[in-house]
Amino acid sequence: MKHSNTAAHPSTPQDQAPNPSWIVKLTIGMIGMFAFLQVYSIQAILPVLMVDFLATEVQVGMMVGATVMAIALMSPFLGMLSDAIGRKSFIVGALLFLAIPTALIALSPSIGWLGVLRFLQGLSVPGITVVTIAYVGEEFEGKALTSLMSFYVSGTVFGGFMGRFLLGHMHELIGWRNGYYVMGVMTLIGAAWAAKALPQSRRFVPNANFGSAIQTLGAHLTSRYVVTACLLGACVLFSLVGCFTFINLHLAEAPYNLSTGALANIFAVYLIGVIITPLSTRLLQRFGAARTVCAAVIMSMCGALLTQVTPLWGIVVGLTIMSSGVFITQSATISYIAVNVKTGRSLASGLYYMAYYAGGTVGAWACGLAYAAGSWRGTVILLLIVQTLALLIASFGMIKTKRST
């Protein structure tokens, strides 16, 4: 039985894991950015969609949930398919596919059709995210692997910010429908970048045996590393989606009455994640994943509580602290899988993302109900409950060992 892992290869000079060049680091970060450019872009225009389509809070919240639901459903399957086919071609093809529903969103006649196209967007994202993590895990080792993972997560953070920021401001300039045409073209540029700059796999071993994939799946479902990471991932995206979806509705109402452009500017707090995430590598190496995650979750809880204050600057500070804790948790959890799971990496990543985005889907729905019932205060209470659960999972589920990388 073959697995796509580095242990399957004899150590030859030409097969040694290379030290990544700056262009490879930049490319991995850019792939992460283009993957997430579309996922959350719609959050900046949710108040506009409520007016344009006469939609409820829960309906517009599920415009975020539709995409993350599709990502959750497809992540393990695209992981297994990539284990059989390859890495680079999968990443480029997924980026090309993503551009199609992105452009078609501009033609949405109803909130229902918008939800369908948002779902189609999500179908292609795991072909980028899951496969990129597997690619990095196979091609690089030790500090190079950890460094590239931090670049990847930084790219996803930057993409999450840019999607919201660009669409919010483009709505004020050319309307959100034309904005999505521009976003489609940008995604095509991302596909061209990956095709040109991403090195071909050197250590990938195809595994087209479905039976062995099922065996690997069974092993992962009983692995403490994988299960704990999956549970943490679900809590992480529940918190992030719930917070940054419904804070828009809160700030669009009195006394703030923010426009789409102003709401887009609020997402600049995401940029702190681009700085924080690479620095989290040092925390991981010194304290290990478990201790780092516990500290990061407590940090997120403090940030969520701070968003309860009235002044806008206090809310922005709270969002900054909350999101920074989430980004550190995500980086630590992804590295936890990459370091500790040696076989079926793509499938392990797929399971992680299935749980991660399932948490985001539930977060979009449950926090919508909480917001409708108790406004922003009700949403924050629900976020704190889920983050407390994450703290318990990290405290009792993760194996507390220091990183040797």
Hey, what domains does the chain have and what are their CATH numbers?
Answer: 18-197+209-397 (1.20.1250.20)
Cis geometry, peptide bond prior to residue 47 (ω within 30 degrees of 0):
no
Q: What is the pLDDT of residues 170-228, one digit of tens each?
A: 999 999 999 999 999 999 999 999 999 999 888 777 766 666 667 777 888 888 888 99
CA distance linking residue 156 with residue 150, whole number of Å: 10
Query: Residue 250: is it exposed, middle or buried by C-beta count within 10 angstroms (0-12/13-18/19+)?
Result: middle
Half-sphere exposure of 350 (CA within 13 A, CB side): 26
pLDDT given at position 193? 94
CA distances from 402 to 150, 277, 398 (A): 18, 18, 12
Q: What is the pLDDT of residues 56-78, one digit of tens each?
A: 989 999 999 999 999 989 887 88
Backbone angles phi, psi at 255, to 5 degrees: -90, 5
CA distance linking residue 232 with residue 220, whole number of Å: 15
pLDDT given at position 86? 80
Which helix (H) or strand (E) segment is 384 a member of? Answer: helix 345-397
CA distance linking residue 278 with residue 261, whole number of Å: 29
DSSP calls for 145-186: HHHHHHHHHHHHHHHHHHHHHHHHHHHHHH-HHHHHHHHHHH
Single pTM value for the model: 0.80
Tell me if 109 sits within 8 A of 311, measured CB to CB: no
Query: Residue 115: is it exposed, middle or buried by C-beta count within 10 angstroms (0-12/13-18/19+)?
Result: buried
pLDDT given at position 103? 96
Q: Helices 126-139 and 57-85 sit at what angle, rounded to 10 degrees?
A: 40
Residue owning tokens 């990543």: 349
pLDDT beneath 70, residues of the chain = 1-18, 207-213, 273-274, 277, 346, 400-405
The 3-state secondary structure of 125-143 reads: CHHHHHHHHHHHHHHCCHH
Tell me if 99 sits within 8 A of 63, measured CB to CB: no
Question: For 44-55, b where at least 16 C-beta lie within 10 A, e where not — what string?
Answer: bbbbbbbeebeb
Tell me if 53 sits within 8 A of 114, measured CB to CB: yes
Residue owning tokens 């979750």: 297
Tell me if 138 sits within 8 A of 203, measured CB to CB: yes
Which two three-digit tokens encode residue 119?
A: 């779902």
Tell me if 38 sits within 8 A of 102, measured CB to CB: yes
Tell me if 25 sits within 8 A of 151, measured CB to CB: yes
Which two three-digit tokens encode residue 129?
A: 């995210």
Tell me if 152 sits within 8 A of 133, measured CB to CB: yes
Which two three-digit tokens encode residue 273?
A: 């994640």
Residue owning tokens 């919201």: 164
Which two three-digit tokens encode residue 164?
A: 């919201």
Q: What is the distance, to the nearest Å, from the Cα of residue 145 to the centroid of all Cα atoms in its chain? A: 18
SS3 310: coil
pLDDT given at position 405? 40
The 3-state secondary structure of 60-102 reads: HHHHHHHHHHHHHHHHHHHHHHHHHHCCHHHHHHHHHHHHHHH
Which two three-digit tokens encode residue 205?
A: 């071993």
pLDDT given at position 18? 63
Alpha-helical (H) ranges within 4-56 are: 22-36, 46-52
